[in-house]
């Protein structure tokens, strides 16, 4: 039997690396919307070793070399900080990007650009938050990530996707696709379009604060969702954050906002039963507690003040992005069923409504943390 083309491509890319032994298993790693990821199991001296080999989507990241260079700079800085702090088990507390045989951070093979990282065993990344403990752990993980990078002093990271969290620009792109309506989907999404446009005033709030000098540029993750947090499988405690593709200069509030978006409703991003979607104050409180415990010390007064606003804003931005992609014909986010991007947009809208209806109570929760 001939191996399928994907297996051939994976093996071809893997051959660029000095693995400890022959590959005994290749499994796709599900979850992401953008890249293709595979878990490789290799025979090693007396056991097996696992790795994650990923093909970077170069429609989304046109300069994959910049992506891996950013990841190298950031993980090396975090590793050094953990070493100085005497943290145990460092290989489980930060990703390890592995070089090719000729010392590069990625390799072009089989029509794609690939990179390899060490797999962290006995860990899992939840798809949705189920209880406050998990929300707190995720807050700690991303808070620590920001704290460890606050004293980064290397070369400025490349903006691999310019204006990634520039919400007004996202709205402009959305307007263009609504006007064009290439798939004739506007008529059936009038309500969603009106909802999002009604909140356009929110789009520039954080960027205005940055322009006025109230919130600083930092190095942030930019995709701070629950499925990018690794928890130890037995202890259910945070280990590190993963998926560092979009680590770039940005605002701390982009990450906190994405956490609110993805960690305060115990539902999947594409849930179709909207009665299951809504911000639960206990999850929000646990998330904010964890985040502030790690990152509180680096936050400016304006960053502290806008934590709730950030949640609403990043959820709005994500709704705009999902709906824009739905209207464009699902060209950016991978889908596994029709209307999935519309469903994703609807969960975000439901969440915005839920945040709006509880805003004062959420502000009280935050105020008590400082
Ligand atoms: C995308 O591929 P994935 O799932 O890590 C997206 C994020 C979105 C997220 C929504 C490069 O991330 O911005 O917030 O989906 N990444 C990119 O789930 O666009
Ligand atoms: Mg991502």
Read off the pLDDT of each residue in 149-167 and give the average, rounded to a whole number: 96
Read off the pLDDT of each residue in 229-244 and give the average, rounded to a whole number: 97
Cα(354) to ligand 2 centroid in Å equals: 25
CA dist., res. 100 & res. 119, Å (int): 16
270 within 8 A of 347, measured Cβ to Cβ: yes
Distances (CA, A) of 265 to 35, 231, 358: 25, 19, 13
CA dist., res. 74 & res. 149, Å (int): 7
Among 95, 169, 225, residue to substitute to test ligand 1 (most atoms within 8 Å of Cβ): 225
Q: What is the pLDDT of residue 30?
A: 86
User: Which residue in 36, 46, 40 sits closest to 26, CA to CA?
Assistant: 40
Read off the pLDDT of each residue in 336-345 and give the average, rounded to a whole number: 98
Q: What are phi and psi of 218, to 5 degrees?
A: -135, 180
Q: What is the pLDDT of residue 31?
A: 80
The ranges assigned to domains in the chain are 5-121, 132-367
Read off the pLDDT of each residue in 4-15 and give the average, rounded to a whole number: 94
User: Which residue in 307, 306, 308, 317 sits closest to 349, CA to CA?
Assistant: 317
Assess whether pLDDT exceeds 80 at residue 105: yes
pLDDT digits (tens, 9 = 90+) for 287-300: 999 999 999 999 99
Q: What is the pLDDT of residue 1?
A: 61
Atom of ligand 1 nearest to the CA of 161: 11
Q: What is the pLDDT of residue 3?
A: 79
Give DSSP secondary structure letters for 71-139.
HHHHHHHHHHHHHHTT-S-GGGTS--EE--TTS-S-EEETTEEEEEEE--SSEE--SS--SHHHHHHHH
Assess whether pLDDT exceeds 80 at residue 2: no
Cα(243) to ligand 2 centroid in Å equals: 5
- Kindly state if the Cβ of 128 falls inside 6 Å of ligand 1: no
Q: What is the pLDDT of residue 278?
A: 98
Read off the pLDDT of each residue in 321-346 and give the average, rounded to a whole number: 98
CA dist., res. 36 & res. 165, Å (int): 23
pLDDT digits (tens, 9 = 90+) for 32-91: 889 999 999 999 988 999 999 999 999 999 999 999 999 999 999 999 999 999 999 999
Regarding the domain delimited by 5-121, which CATH topology (the fold level of the hierarchy) does it fall under?
Answer: Phosphorylase Kinase; domain 1 (3.30.200)
Positive/negative CA dihedral, 320, 356, 277, 279:
positive
pLDDT range class, residue 103, cuts 50, 70, 90? very high
Cα(258) to ligand 1 centroid in Å equals: 10
Mean pLDDT of the chain: 96
Regarding the domain delimited by 132-367, which CATH topology (the fold level of the hierarchy) does it fall under?
Answer: Aminoglycoside 3'-phosphotransferase; Chain: A, domain 2 (3.90.1200)
Radius of gyration of the CA atoms of the chain, in A: 21
Which pTM was predicted? Answer: 0.95
Fill in the DSSP letter of residue 295: H
């Amino acid at each position: 039997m001939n191996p399928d083309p994907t297996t051939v491509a994976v093996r071809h890319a893997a051959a660029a690396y000095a693995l400890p032994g022959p590959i005994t298993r290749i499994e796709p790693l599900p979850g992401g919307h953008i890249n293709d990821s595979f878990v490789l199991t290799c025979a090693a001296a007396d056991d097996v070793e696992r790795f994650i080999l990923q093909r970077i989507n170069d429609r989304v990241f046109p300069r994959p070399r910049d992506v891996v260079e950013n990841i190298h700079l950031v993980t090396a800085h975090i590793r050094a900080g953990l070493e100085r702090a005497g943290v145990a088990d460092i290989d489980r507390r930060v990703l390890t990007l592995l070089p090719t045989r000729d010392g590069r951070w990625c390799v072009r093979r089989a029509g794609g650009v690939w990179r390899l990282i060490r797999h962290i065993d006995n860990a899992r990344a939840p798809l949705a938050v189920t209880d406050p403990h998990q929300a707190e752990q995720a807050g700690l993980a991303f808070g620590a990530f920001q704290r460890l990078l606050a004293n980064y002093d290397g070369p400025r990271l490349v903006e691999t996707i310019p204006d990634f969290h520039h919400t007004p620009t996202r709205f402009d792109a959305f307007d263009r696709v609504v006007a064009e309506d290439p798939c004739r989907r506007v008529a059936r999404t009038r309500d969603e379009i009106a909802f999002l446009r009604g909140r356009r005033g929110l789009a520039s709030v954080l960027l205005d604060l940055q322009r006025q000098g109230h919130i600083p540029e930092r190095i942030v993750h930019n995709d701070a969702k629950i499925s990018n947090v690794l928890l130890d499988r037995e202890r259910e405690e945070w280990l590190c954050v993963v998926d560092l593709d979009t680590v770039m200069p940005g605002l701390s509030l982009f990450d906190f906002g994405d956490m609110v978006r993805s960690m305060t409703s115990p539902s999947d991003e594409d849930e179709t039963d909207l009665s299951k979607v809504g911000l639960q104050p206990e999850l929000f409180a646990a998330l904010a507690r964890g985040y502030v415990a790690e990152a509180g010390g680096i936050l400016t007064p304006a960053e502290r003040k806008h934590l709730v606003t950030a949640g609403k804003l990043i959820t709005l931005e994500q709704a705009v992005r999902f709906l824009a992609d739905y209207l464009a014909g699902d060209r950016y986010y991978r889908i596994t069923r029709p209307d999935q991007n519309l469903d994703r947009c609807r969960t975000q809208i439901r969440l915005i409504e839920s945040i709006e209806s509880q805003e004062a109570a959420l502000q009280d929760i935050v105020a008590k943390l400082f």
